[in-house]
Amino acid sequence: MSSGTSFKIFAKRAITPHYLGPLVLTIADGRIAKVDKLDNKKKPNLTDSKKIISLDDGYLAPGFVDIHAHGAVGYDTMCANISALSAITRFHLTGGTTSIVLSTVSASEQEITTVLNTVKGVAGRSLGGSRILGVHLEGPYLAPNKSGAHNKEQLRTPQRKEWQKYLKFHDIITQITIAPELDGAIPFIRCATEHGILMSIGHTDALEPTLKKAYDAGARHATHVFNAMGGMVKNGPFRIAGAIEFCLATDGLCCELIADGIHVPPTVMKLLFKAKSRDDICLITDAMAGAGMKAGTVFKAGGTSALSAIVTKDVAMTSDRTALSGSILTMIEAVKRAVTLCGVSIQDAVHMASLVPARQIRKDNDIGSIQPGKMADLVWFDDEFSIKGVWLGGDLLYLT
């Protein structure tokens, strides 16, 4: 059914932030006009079958919001062309992602600016797949000893002359990952925050005193916690908390999690779920161009300055297999593994994959939950976490 029409969806098990049970949604002009909660024992009287979709099995959830994804099916954000962005977002839609933030890698100023200009022309739109919300700059302001799969030759300290050019794109840059120990990082965090950009601690070896300065300057997010992030160190007889401990202990600092059980082992994933509330954990894919590709496929994890990577059975790695190179996750798989590996409730896992990321980038007025007035972005999946249908703005874009 088209977003230009009015219709209803009955779901026996619908997920909202504070409810899991039967609902009837009224969809009009691409938005959720009304949400009616039903008695579990009574099925609604749905008389006009032409305008009603009845979902008697599976779960109906808000569309997932992936705020950290680099690519898929052989394409990368750094390709910076419409056909690549279309392919990436079409793939991620099949994993339940209705809104996506495209992430860069550490690259030259020219390459990054090309990405920003390309995305600026399509921001807020769907190219047949997930709605493109904007860009996440992951790099180039990262610590060399925590570079992960980033090209060390492209890492640098934040220079005002460069980052002022990026801030001209503040309307489409949703977040920036930065190592706060770098010279010039704290003033940059403060200025970017004032421009409405979410500043994220990541790829860092900073210790608590510096991390506290970053937090005070406005940093409220942590990029793929536990990965490319230092921990507690000993200074003579004393110990100083590192980024891992700081992120776990600091209220109001939201932690991204690549929930594949490989980037972070299940026991450590459980530690995060115990340490932080569901409002301070954000599920992401960090998917690279290898997502959706066969094991053994070699790909470039970024643009012309990127490193070569390879797809394995469960993850992407640098070609020399010395480091992980993003994931091959979809958001529905991240939700599934949070539930099956760690015992997180379906309701909480969906919350961390939808409303939390939407809130972090200030889009929660429009997306992220099943509530009146929000976009009719919905995902229907079965008990085995297989996607059955995806609606974007009331349009059914994917059905299995």
Provide the CATH number for the domain around residue 389: 2.30.40.10
Determine, yes or no, domain membership for 330: yes
pTM confidence score: 0.95
- Confirm whether 365 is domain-assigned: no
pLDDT band at 51 (very low <50, low <70, confident <90, very high): confident
Residue from 383, 120, 382, 381 nearest 391 by CA: 381
Q: How far apart are CA 262 and CA 344, in angstroms?
A: 17
CA 294 from centroid of its chain's CA atoms: 23
pLDDT digits (tens, 9 = 90+) for 104-118: 999 999 999 999 999
- Whether residues 292 and 174 share a domain: the answer is yes
Is the confidence at residue 128, as pLDDT, over 90?
A: yes
Instruction: Give how far Cα 6 sits from Cα of 10, 11, 343, 369, Å.
Output: 14, 17, 38, 19
Report how many domains make up the chain: 2
Determine the average pLDDT of the residues in 354-365. 98
Which pLDDT belongs to residue 282? 98
Same domain for 160 and 209, yes or no, is: yes
The b/e string for 279-301 (b: 16+ C-beta within 10 A; e otherwise) is ebbbbbbbbbbbbbbeeebebbb
Query: Is residue 395 annotated as part of the catalytic site, yes or no?
Result: no
Percent of the residues in the chain that have a pLDDT greater than 70, as a whole number: 95
Per annotation, catalytic residue among 66, 205, 280, 286: 286
Tell me the C-alpha distance between 367 and 374, whole Å: 6
In this structure, are 269 and 246 located in the same domain?
yes
Examine the domain organization and report whether 142 and 263 are in the same domain.
yes
Contact 210, 240 (CB under 8 A): no
Residue 251: the pLDDT is 95
Can you read off the two tokens belonging to residue 114? Answer: 């090309």
Q: How confident is the model over 165-180, as a mean pLDDT?
A: 98
Q: Which domain holds residue 380?
A: 6-61+370-399
Report the CATH number that the domain containing residue 129 is assigned in CATH.
Answer: 3.20.20.140
pLDDT, the chain, mean: 94
The answer to whether 254 touches 327, Cβ cutoff 8 Å, is no
Same domain, 21 and 116: no
Residues 21 and 140 in one domain: no
Looking at the structure, tell me whether residues 375 and 343 fall in a common domain: no
Give the residue from 210, 224, 301, 223 showing the smallest Cα distance to 259.
224
Give yes or no: residues 320 and 390 share one domain.
no
Report the pLDDT value the prediction gives residue 97, as an integer from 0 to 100.
98
Q: Tell me, yes or no, whether 53 and 176 share the same domain.
A: no
Same domain, yes or no: 257 and 315: yes
Summarised one tens digit per residue, pLDDT across range 274-325 is 999 999 999 999 999 999 999 999 887 775 556 788 999 889 888 888 878 8
In a domain, 16, yes or no: yes
Tokens for 274?
């115990």
Question: Is the pLDDT reported for residue 153 higher than 70?
Answer: yes
pLDDT reading at 213 higher than 70: yes
Q: Is residue 91 part of a domain?
A: yes
